[in-house]
Structure 1
Amino acid sequence: MVDDKLRTPGAVRDAERWTAHNYHPLPVVISSAEGAWLTDVDGRRYLDCLAGYSALNFGHRHPQLIAAAHAQLDRLTLTSRAFIHDQFADFCRELAELCGKDLVLPMNTGAEAVETGIKVARKWGYQVKGVAAGQANIVVAEGNFHGRTTTIVSFSTDEDARADFGPYTPGFTVVPYGDLDALTAAIDENTVAVLLEPIQGEQGVVVPPEGYLPGVRQVCTERNVLFIADEIQSGLGRTGATFACDHEGVVPDMYLLGKALGGGIVPVSAVAANADVLGVLKPGQHGSTFGGNPLACAVAIEVVRLLATGEFQRRSAELGERLRAGLEGLLGKGLVGVRVRGLWAGLDIDPALMSGREACERLAARGVLAKDTHGSTIRLAPPLVITEEEIDLAVTQLAEVLAG
């Protein structure tokens, strides 16, 4: 039982009283953080194994990112896109170079990046491919998570995300994830894009079969369809490479980026593609007041520079193998499934043992924060600054939870 003298219970009650209940957070109230560690209002410390759904790939308050934010706060924070500011070109150029693309379109949130990708793909379809007006369709995958706007939830297969938000936006065809034959069959003369997560994060870190992404790339090329990779969670070092697509040598026509691009400080998202794709947009056809603002660009420039060294990709790959070894050692000891790519893991707990929520509650009591999804599955996505010893700590605590 939590001591009533502690601040956490009251803070939890206040949050529940004054907030719409669109989330069901763990009863932990964080007041400060550094690196891979969080501290609550009562001084208890927790190892962060969620990292803001990959928004905190570089840890909490990374010194280089905090310094960039402080410096920019003292100079300029917003101009709108009606004017050009002195951070804008550097951000767009350096991110374009990281992606190997011609152009970047900055936005704010991941969902905005997805919406931008959808709009660009449709416009490209009408203006370049020659699809008849109003007939464009996009092929997507079951189990997808691309955001929560009305258009995006229209092609979600998660009823919690979708139910009672209709009428739904048409123009999407849903096929099983990882099934190349089904995807190929779904493409017709009006298909303008295939929109996929290279690894499905919200679904439980689901990695597609080997050869699937190269197959998608090939069929998109053959059928004159854009391949859009939603790397909002999987990109920017999370999987042991700059992009999850890199693991199979695949280059999509369009990257959708977000989360870690803002360094855990400000929301930053972007679409990166070549001029023959993003060039279909003309002034007045798409925009955002805050997209590409000076503060966001200053932080994101430093994020791109951190990634340009390759250090964080290497850390993710190397430490991910340690995480994999530890988690696979728990198969048959409470875990019935383990999927790991870099420092990203989906763990299926024996449903007869406990739910994912219960496992996360028990882990929190032991000082480790993780997130459940879809019943008995939990996800681990620690900051890439985590150490070997901290990985071992997380695995040890999970083992204790599973052992009861």
Structure 2
Amino acid sequence: MTALAKEAQSGNIAAMMRALAHGAKTASRELSQASGAAKDSALRAAAGALRDNEAEILAANVKDVAAGRQKGLSAAMVDRLTLNRERVAAMARGLEDIAALDDPVGAVLGEWTRPNGLLIQRVRVPIGVIGVIYESRPNVTADASALCLKSGNAVILRGGSESFHSNHAIMACLGVGLAAAGLPAASVQLVPTRDRDAVGAMLKMDDLIDVIVPRGGKSLIARITAESKVPLFKHLEGICHTYVDKNADPARARDVVVNAKMRRTGICGATETVLIDAAAAQTLGPQIVSGLLDAGCEVRGDAAVRALDPRVRTADAADWDSEYLDAIVSVKTVEGVDGAIAHIEEHGSHHTDCILTEDADAAERFLNKVDSAIVMLNASTQYADGGEFGMGAEIGIATGKLHARGPVGVEQLTTFKYLVRGQGQCRP
């Protein structure tokens, strides 16, 4: 048993967390100077370890899934928790994809020479120590670690109690990668306890942790927002919308809406509300609604939508503000593009919203006026994912506006500093 684990077992959570954070701070200094080759070597070795230890990872996950079902987790939450051979392979590929990205550290973002001869450069540098607090999805352990490592940051991971065994099995593979590349073991650390006090301790350590990325439900985000002394990249709920304009292509609209809702209902990019142009309610509405129902989705609609199909249930006021993360969707008719924009502004979470239309003017109005981190045209909201954006993976979808917005990848996990070179200039 490690010293940290002993501290956790003894109940001295605050001391354990400070020791863990001190280790991360020390490691971050070394990582900030690590070569791109060393970081990439660690990621590729970790990917190999994931593949080599697939059986152990899946066995650990079986324990978590069984406990989750016994605990009464919803089907969508169980899906988020579950690993299989394909998902383990996807984690490994994700690490390799991140390794293949350009190293962001040291990139010169701007350079100019002042009339007095001073050469000024704005250079990308790591943030330092990243804390990630997340629920359910064990793949976050691999993705977040890889993104932080690639960007030269140390990371402290506090996964959900429901994925405890899976996270530790994945963490062991990341440790193999760090050791193979000769990087500090404290570069990537997993909090070794399920005790909720560990989260409280992290939120107070603004002297050791530079930023925290929370990923989870409303209660977790509310607690972290209220208590944290550390700056946050908030990954809030995904109340994502797909708006079907009167000029949408009928076949495309049906296919995209069904995919946006039903491909994986438990991810944050799943569409939770479908808005249909009132002018197209009788022409496009029936096939949109029947497509969702036939795919096994419960549809809750307003009066106009209920009139399209007797299987539609009545939507109440709470439905327009709900992230179901399940095979449930709310559907509402709106007065054109402006009606859709107004609804999204009132009920959305500024995550991802989409318009389906062949009208270029309507598309541009929607794309420019919807104030969300990701705004899409004629594509499933399920593409709201760092991997699909070519970023290798993501640590979350930031719905705020400062520093990072949208998928948080390696570039978003860096900041910058100014390097100023002179030849003895003195300011008059």
Point out which structure has higher relative CO (alpha carbons under 8 A, 6+ apart): 1
Bigger-Rg structure (1/2): 2
**What TM-score do you get using the length of structure 2 for normalisation?**
0.24
Alignment TM-score, normalising by the size of structure 1:
0.25
Structure having the higher helix fraction is: 2
